[in-house]
């Protein structure tokens, strides 16, 4: 990549003060309407929408602009079925033996269990991988920086973009999730990060009117 200083520079896009305030408020209000759901309709989603949301994610900042992510977009029912089977093996073990009691107690209000039917029902599974390092065509390794931070930011931007498009999402982290690399034939320099289960909510879905921590408890001004 050519050095930044040799690239064309464009003016920073800004808004008049009033417009800025409105945009900030509307965006926050809209993000607050996002809810994780666990029951998806089989309704199809236009691939262009998913592609544009991935384009939004791809704009994320990353350590040294190394963009250490890869997204596997799963729509093939046979692949989904395999992922569900593999995830449920791990999750059965998680709920029965691996999870300590205090973790199970924290999950109880969510009503989650080892049954992961959403992995087959949702039209899209976007499996996010983090690249610990990059491998060039000649096999040499190139370091990446702040990988978890970068991939976390890109995933957050993906969730915001999908919500903005009117789609529902579920962030699913089967534990452990090493099986995703094998099932999806990803290289050894990548580790599975998260599954973004994406689609429309099932007709029966109701979401709780949950509250978020008030700003006064999460923000300190100095």
CB 145 within 8 A of CB 63: yes
Least separation in angstroms between residue 42's CB and ligand IYR is 21
Q: How many residues bind ligand IYR (CB under 6 A)?
A: 9
Site string for ligand IYR, 4-23 (x = CB under 6 A): --------------------
Q: Looking at beta carbons only, is 52 or 114 nearer to ligand IYR?
A: 114
What are the CA-CA distances from residue 123 to residues 90, 95, 194 (Å)? 22, 26, 17
Q: Residue 175 and residue 179: Cα distance in Å, rounded?
A: 10
CB 133 within 8 A of CB 105: no
Residue 107 binds to ligand IYR (criterion: CB under 6 A): yes
**Crossing angle (nearest 10°) for helices 17-32 and 147-164:** 90
Residue 84 binds to ligand IYR (criterion: CB under 6 A): no
Least separation in angstroms between residue 176's CB and ligand IYR is 10
Residue 112 binds to ligand IYR (criterion: CB under 6 A): yes
- Classify 184 as helix, strand or coil: coil
Q: Looking at beta carbons only, is 94 or 124 nearer to ligand IYR?
A: 94
Q: Looking at beta carbons only, is 108 or 218 nearer to ligand IYR?
A: 108
Residue 91 binds to ligand IYR (criterion: CB under 6 A): yes
Closest by CA position to 125, among listed 22, 58, 187, 45: 45
**36-52 in b/e burial notation, b at 16+ Cβ within 10 A?**
ebbbbbeeebeeebbee
Under rule CB under 6 A, which residues in 153-192 are in contact with ligand IYR? 172-175
For ligand IYR, the binding residues (CB under 6 A) are 91, 94, 107, 110, 112, 172-175
């Amino acid at each position: 990549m050519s050095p930044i200083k040799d690239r064309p520079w464009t003016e920073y896009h800004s808004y008049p003060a009033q417009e800025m305030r409105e945009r900030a408020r509307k965006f926050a209000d809209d993000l607050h309407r996002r809810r994780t759901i666990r029951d998806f309709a089989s309704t199809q989603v236009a691939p262009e929408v998913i592609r544009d949301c991935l384009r939004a994610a791809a704009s994320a900042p990353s350590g040294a602009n190394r963009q250490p992510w890869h997204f596997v977009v799963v729509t093939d029912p046979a692949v989904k079925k395999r992922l569900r089977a593999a995830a449920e093996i791990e999750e059965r073990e998680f709920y029965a033996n691996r999870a300590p009691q205090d973790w199970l107690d924290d999950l109880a209000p969510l009503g989650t269990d080892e049954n992961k039917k959403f992995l087959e029902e949702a039209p899209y599974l976007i499996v996010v991988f983090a690249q610990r390092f990059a491998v060039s065509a000649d096999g040499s390794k190139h370091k990446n920086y702040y990988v978890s931070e970068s991939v976390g930011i890109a995933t957050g931007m993906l969730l915001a973009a999908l919500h903005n498009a009117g789609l529902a999402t579920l962030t699913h982290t089967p534990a452990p999730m090493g099986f995703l690399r094998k099932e999806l034939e990803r290289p050894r320099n990548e580790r599975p990060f998260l599954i973004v289960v994406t689609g429309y909510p099932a007709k029966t879905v109701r979401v709780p009117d949950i509250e978020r921590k008030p700003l006064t408890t999460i923000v300190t001004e100095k």
